[in-house]
Structure 1
Amino acid sequence: MKTERKPPECWLTDMDGVLVKEGMAIPGAAEFIARLIEKQRRFLVLTNNSIFTPRDLAARLARSGLDVPEESIWTSALATADFLNQQQPRGTAYVIGEAGLTTALHDVGYTLTDVNPDYVVIGELRSYSFEAITKAIRLVSAGARFIATNPDVTSPSPEGPIPATGSAAAMITAATGAKPYFVGKPNPMMFRSAMNRIEAHVLSTVMIGDRMETDVVAGIEAGLETILVLSGSTAKDEVARYPYRPSRVLDSIADVVDLV
């Protein structure tokens, strides 16, 4: 028997390709955020980027003209810290990552160390250190459990794609045979942790994204209504190639404003 969905009360939305593109707000994004706040809807802006803290990202969004409170931003770093805190509270970790990841782990009571850590945790970096990767390989080989914030193999830059978390994690896997547990999208774990954060119910929550292979599939696996917007990575003629379908396909976030 099909479970009836309820009118949307909570909203999860991807950031890049949905709200902003190349540092500029996408038309309709400011109105969408304003409508959520006006209607007192619970919402989170999600990103697989683990470099920045929510405060950093709120400032970056503000420069784009989007007023998003830092408490309304949920990163793969926060989701990773939340996951580890549930698995082993106040544990230890060797971390390859920027402030977004180290701060999130500190905030849940984790100790960062390179001596016999419980976990090796790898996130996104502006540049990866071969020395740090070597240390991670030795620690994983010695028994540390292996976690990665997300599986993205490249990140965009003005000069072109650069290696991201998934590529660095693959080096460690190739050297050790150990595969990491990826917490960020497309793992629906990230959506479930976000929903717990805002006390959202699966039948009244909507996920908006621009990528079929991450945002939409993870939303479906988490049991959410999904909206694909065509302002980012996925073109309209590509949707039919996938074996799953979003609930709606819309041109951009501007078309979502009246649905709030």
Structure 2
Amino acid sequence: MTDHPVDSWLTDMDGVLVQEQHAIEGASQFLTELERLGLPYLVLTNNSIYSRRDLRARLLTSGLDVPEERIWTSALATAQFLAEQTTGEGRRGTAFVIGEFGLTGALHEAGFVLSERDPDFVVLGETRTYSFTSITQAIRHVLGGARFIATNPDTTGPSPDGPLPATGSVAALITAATGVQPYYVGKPNPLMMRSALNAIGAHSETTAMVGDRMDTDIVAGIEAGMRSALVLSGVTQRDEVTRHPFRPTWVVDSIADVVPMVEELARG
């Protein structure tokens, strides 16, 4: 696998390109190098709150110019997955959604009708304010037979004041009340990686994944058949790497260290 050139890249966003609304040193140069060499790439995020347009605006305020079509979210991957699952059923179906516009908009674009009455799916994503009423409705729908889907298993999300409960925590609550486990679409499910690869027409053996988490980014990249670069600018610290039974292809301090690798790896 390592003999193949790397002619496509996937990269996580938070902890790799940005940290608390500020671009990490080397992020702009990394994106510029990919554009200069004409290499396909996608910026990935498990966050399902924001649309592509929202994330592009957020990245612009950090000084990073990423086109909308170069952004891939767990919300988009979830909508695509459900669309594929309902192909041949004659209709896309209905979904009861807990989430923000990034998720509801993606599902709407995929042809789903959002409904609070006898939905085919309960789709759980991230929101700034989880509603006990909505969670109660979700529990009742799942008990009534709705298929339970969650955008990602992340239990907490970052905020200026500290961690916030995220999709995985609320999913655990619904599971405890129903006995039903959700199907998680986002990282570390390699399904999200494969959907991203398909979105840019890339192949796993010639694509590298850059991430800051061993338990999501790196394991998903490995399971999807890609080479992987762990940056130590985010969640995972160097002394934690050896605790895992799998290894990234490269371990570097930050995305700045990946920049000189891009052209070298493209040559094979």
Q: Corresponding residue for 2:74?
A: 76
Q: Is the 8 A contact 1:43 1:198 kept in 2?
A: yes
Q: Corresponding residue for 2:5?
A: 7
Shift of 1:4: 5.2
Equivalent residue letter for 2:231: V
Q: Corresponding residue for 1:153?
A: 155
Q: Deviations over 1:14-38 (max 9, x none)?
A: 0000000011000000000011111
Q: Is the 8 A contact 1:150 1:166 kept in 2?
A: yes
Q: Corresponding residue for 1:163?
A: 165
Q: Distance in 1 between matches of 2:118 and 2:41?
A: 39
Q: Is the 8 A contact 1:5 1:203 kept in 2?
A: no
SS in 1 for 2:76: helix
Shift of 1:79: 0.5
Q: Corresponding residue for 2:231?
A: 229
Equivalent residue letter for 1:20: V
Q: Corresponding residue for 1:256?
A: 258
Q: Distance in 2 between matches of 1:84 and 1:5?
A: 36
Q: Is the 8 A contact 1:156 1:162 kept in 2?
A: yes
Q: Distance in 1 between matches of 2:135 and 2:3?
A: 46
1:1-260 equivalent positions in 2, closer than 5 A: 3=1, 5-89=3-87, 90-260=92-262
Q: Distance in 2 between matches of 1:237 and 1:129?
A: 39
Q: Is the 8 A contact 1:153 1:164 kept in 2?
A: yes
Q: Is the 8 A contact 1:5 1:204 kept in 2?
A: no
SS in 2 for 1:66: coil
Runs of 4+ in 1 over 2 A off after TM superposition: none
Q: Which consecutive unaligned segments of at least 5 residues does structure 2 have?
A: 263-268
Q: Deviations over 1:154-187 (max 9, x none)?
A: 1111111111101111111011000000000111
Q: Percent same amino acid among aligned pairs?
A: 64
Q: Is the 8 A contact 1:48 1:185 kept in 2?
A: yes
Query: In terms of mean alpha carbon deviation, does 158-167 or 144-153 score higher?
Result: 158-167
